[in-house]
Structures are given as structure tokens and as C-alpha cells.
Structure 1
Amino acid sequence: MSTTETHHTLWVAYGPSGVVGSIRKDEDGYTVTMAGADTTAGTYPTMEVAKSALHSRMTPGSDWPQFREH
């Protein structure tokens, strides 16, 4: 019997007024979900691309969010 261990990592993105979204790492890549959304905004091959994708979905002119691992 073999066991497969899956690690999921979560980063929460914070803007000036609170949480704006999150990025979850799993075997498929880095999945972006915006705060309050019912669906994901996509899965990306790297963390940097996912961060850029999340930022691009924020209000135009928004500062870069702060990402904290949870």
C-alpha cells in the first residue's frame, strides 16, 4: 500500500482595506480566488504569474497587495 502526501499552501492577499484574494498551491499550480468570488480566477504555473493575475483583477490603480502565507 502506498501513500501519496499532498501539500497545499495558501497565501492571502491584503490590500489597504483588508483581504482582496488568495492563492492556493496544489498539484495543478497556483490557483487565484478573489475575495467574495464564487469561482476561481484561474490556475497559473508560477507564484509570480498568479500574483500578477490577482493584482490585475483588483481595482485599476490599486497598490500591489501584501501576500502572507497561511
Structure 2
Amino acid sequence: MSDTATRRLWVAYGPNGVVGKIQKDADGYRVHMAGKDEPLGAYPSMDIAKNALHAHLKPGSDRPEFREH
């Protein structure tokens, strides 16, 4: 029997394309902004991760659309 880890991925789309992604892993929901090497951090829930990603966009930006991949 093998151990497998299920990972889920959501991509955040703004009006001009991809702005970031959220990946579910053992640490929680890890947020990565587009064009950045290091993640913002891991958050305990999807809602908190979405809010963190949105908060790191330019002021006044609309909330991105999140699509699971």
C-alpha cells in the first residue's frame, strides 16, 4: 500500500489574466502570487487564503475569479 497526498489547485484570474494560485497541501492552503518565487504563506481555510491573495493585489482591484484545476 502506498501513501498518496491529494493536492488541489485553484488559479486566480483577474481582468488581465492570472494573478496567483492557491494550492491545498498538508500545511493548509498555500498562496502564490503570479511572478513571485516565494509563497505568501499557508492559511487554515480557503476563504482566508482567497482574502490574502486579494489583499496583495493593487488597491481597488476587483476580487479575482478562482477556478479549480
TM-score range, shorter chain: over 0.9
Q: Structure 1 unaligned segments of length 5 or more: list them.
A: none
Greater Cα radius of gyration, structure 1 or 2: 1
Aligned residues: 69
**Partner SS, residue 20 of structure 2:** strand
Separation of aligned partners in 2, 1:27 and 1:40:
15
- Give me the TM-score of the superposition, normalised by structure 1: 0.95
Q: Deviations over 1:7-52 (max 9, x none)?
A: 0000000000000000000111000000000100110000000000
Separation of aligned partners in 2, 1:54 and 1:8:
19
Q: Structure 2 unaligned segments of length 5 or more: list them.
A: none
**Partner SS, residue 10 of structure 2:** strand
Separation of aligned partners in 2, 1:45 and 1:3:
26
Runs of 4+, deviation exceeding 2 Å: none
- Percent of residue pairs bearing the same amino acid type: 58
Separation of aligned partners in 1, 2:52 and 2:43:
8
Q: How far does residue 3 in structure 1 lie from its aligned partner after superposition?
A: 2.1
